Amino acid sequence: MLDKTGIAKRIAKEVKDGYYVNLGIGIPTLVANFVREDIEVEFQSENGVLGMGPFPFEGEEDADIINAGKQTITTLDGASFFDSALSFSMIRGKHVDLTILGAMEVSQNGDIANWKIPGKMVKGMGGAMDLVASAENIIVAMMHTNKAGESKLLKKCSLPLTGVNCVKKIVTNLALLEITENGFKLLERAKGVSIDEIKAATEGNLIVEGDIPEMNI
């Protein structure tokens, strides 16, 4: 079974040379730490920066340079700043190659719910609805089950949707899965996790074809 860092490490392998990547808050943010050093990748933050670098050294933080999680950051050589409309032009116009974000639920047809729990605090969708409506390549990073042990990979989402038919791949603590016409296709198992364990934790239709290899991270 993977921890959050393990999920981030597996997703990092999906990041290819020349990609512009938008990382959501939480596990996705960790992905930046594990991208191969021999490839060129730029990270976009939707509040208006491309070419995001690591956190600043103590005492060097600048209130005018933050990421979408409102954390102080630095920029790398070749970085640029821009306004919010242009930022979402990059996203809506499909110039960003890969979007990695967290989710509360994903359905077997690729619907995603990650912004609202009715009756509890509603914080808002931020840029998530724009991202999922336009990105061609969306990978979800999340735990396979919620805190109550219930599956987050469902036939149909129960929470208000963020977007429809949009998720392409999911990496959880148990497995790497792909969304296909017939449901969640199991591609890889986390180390030491059996197919039966993944079946038991998946409420939606799980497709298992042939040998399912263990993840190599």
Among residues 110, 127, 183, 204, the one that binds another protein under rule CB under 8 A: 127
Cβ-proximal residues to 155 (8 Å cutoff; 6+ apart), any chain: 107, 108, 203, 204, 205
> Smallest gap, in angstroms, from Cβ of residue 8 to another protein?
17
- The sign of the dihedral angle between the CA atoms of 131, 133, 136, 140 is positive
Tell me the window of 5-13, 14-22, 87-95, 201-209 that interacts with another protein (CB under 8 A). Answer: 87-95
Would you count residue 51 as binding another protein (CB under 8 A)? Answer: no
Q: Pick the catalytic residue: 14, 42, 46, 105?
A: 46
Among residues 22, 87, 107, 109, the one that binds another protein under rule CB under 8 A: 87
> Smallest gap, in angstroms, from Cβ of residue 98 to another protein?
17
Q: CA-CA distance, 63 to 73, in Å (whole number)? A: 9
Among residues 77, 121, 192, 209, the one that binds another protein under rule CB under 8 A: 121
Would you count residue 57 as binding another protein (CB under 8 A)? Answer: yes
> Smallest gap, in angstroms, from Cβ of residue 2 to another protein?
24
According to DSSP, residue 107 is labeled E
150 as an active site residue: the answer is no
Three-state DSSP state, 168: coil
Would you count residue 105 as binding another protein (CB under 8 A)? Answer: no
Q: What DSSP line would sit under 109-157, residue for residue?
A: TS-EE-S--TTS-----TTHHHHHHH-SSEEEE--SB-TTS-BSEESS-
Residues involved in catalysis: 46
